[in-house]
Amino acid sequence: MRRIQAGSALSAFGLGFTVPYLYVYVAQVRDLGATTAGVVLATFAMAALIALPFTGRAIDRRGPLPVLVAASLLASVGALSIGLADNVTTVVLSAALLGAGTAVIQPALATMLVWCSDAASRTRAFAMQFFLQNLGLGLGGLIGGQLVDKSRPDSFLLLFGIESVMFLVLAGIALTVRIPRPTPLTGAPVDPAAKAKGGMRALLGHKAMVQLSVLGFVLFFACYGQFESGLAAYGTEAAGIEPSTLGSALAANTAVIVIAQFVVLKFVEQRKRSRVIAAVGLVWAVAWVIAGYAGLGTNSQTMATAAFITTYALFGLGEAMLSPTVAPLVADLAPESMVGQYNSAFALVKQLALALGPAVGGPMGAALHGPYIVTFVLFSLGISVLAVRLGRELTPVQNQPSLAVKSRVVAQHKAAEPVEVAA
């Protein structure tokens, strides 16, 4: 588990080096223009959408380890190729390799975490992964920003080279891991009919998983899909936020995640997952209301800036509550033979939300300020409603895994009690 978490953090560190600067690199450093840069970013996302439907079955048939190694090597080649690319064709093809590789890495890592955990440790394992990945992304972006120089293309080659090496390190660490078979969640029923069907038919026939996927789409669409598009456009256009303040807001988001993650974890572990997700919807609704306050135009610039940064901080609090909740639930809903397919399907839902979120939110945030805030307040409240409905489809242990841990402790305690024998 420690090796997997270390490799995951290092790959996030490598991504943090390059992702914030990809647009600038293509459009300005390589002088390929804004249109080409947009195509590259779209290719990055589309490659993930194409690769993910095939990933789950490969993980379940071959195991997550070879899939992770292959994806890491693919991403390493893609990263290095982008650093060397000097024309439209090579940079687009390189972005496709990098996008496909990084997309496949996530469900493979998630499946490895499932295989190395049980009901007692799974929630904490996914919380730790989220914490380390955010820390890695933040540190990578911070250090990368000190190394990058638009006047020196070689500085970007250094960044992409470091990213390429980090993916190779991930592959190397993964090859040293010996993974046990997964431990099924106590109380999680496996539908024999669904298991016999296999593939997407089984997944689509699983009502709780379908509801979780719909909920996941709304979660990612209403939060992550707005960070660098709609919400950023709203902040600069409606609230008059300086572009440099966006960096401070993202830093506040990361800081809250890093500081609050394990404090929140203690709260989350003893509560029903559906209620935790419902609480996230309420927290995010408050965040959107505060963003609306920042854009009223009647506040001082200082108040607007403080409100905008608070919005990002509240999003971070919600993210810290979700990380030990949603990803482990996907794993606990999956039949043992389909963990990879469930993780990949949920990753696909996330990628779709991240692709559509900016497309819808960007224009709204820039031009339709009032409707934009109202729309996403309603989306956030919808998260709470969907979470409550999902809770009705879950078994008690799926909704609150700590019940399984407690029941085993009680059983062991009773088994240890002496038995009186009549003379």
Per residue of the chain (423 residues), give pLDDT as tens.
888 888 888 888 888 777 767 777 887 788 888 788 778 878 887 888 888 888 888 888 888 889 999 999 999 999 999 988 888 899 999 989 998 999 899 888 888 888 887 767 788 888 888 888 888 877 887 787 777 777 787 888 888 898 899 999 999 998 888 876 555 444 444 444 444 455 677 778 888 899 999 999 999 888 877 776 678 778 877 777 776 677 677 778 888 888 888 888 888 878 888 999 999 999 999 999 998 888 776 667 788 888 888 988 999 899 888 888 888 888 888 887 788 888 888 888 888 888 788 778 778 887 888 888 899 999 999 999 999 999 998 888 888 877 765 555 444 445 545 545 554
Using CA atoms, how far apart are residues 249 and 304, in angstroms rounded to an integer?
12
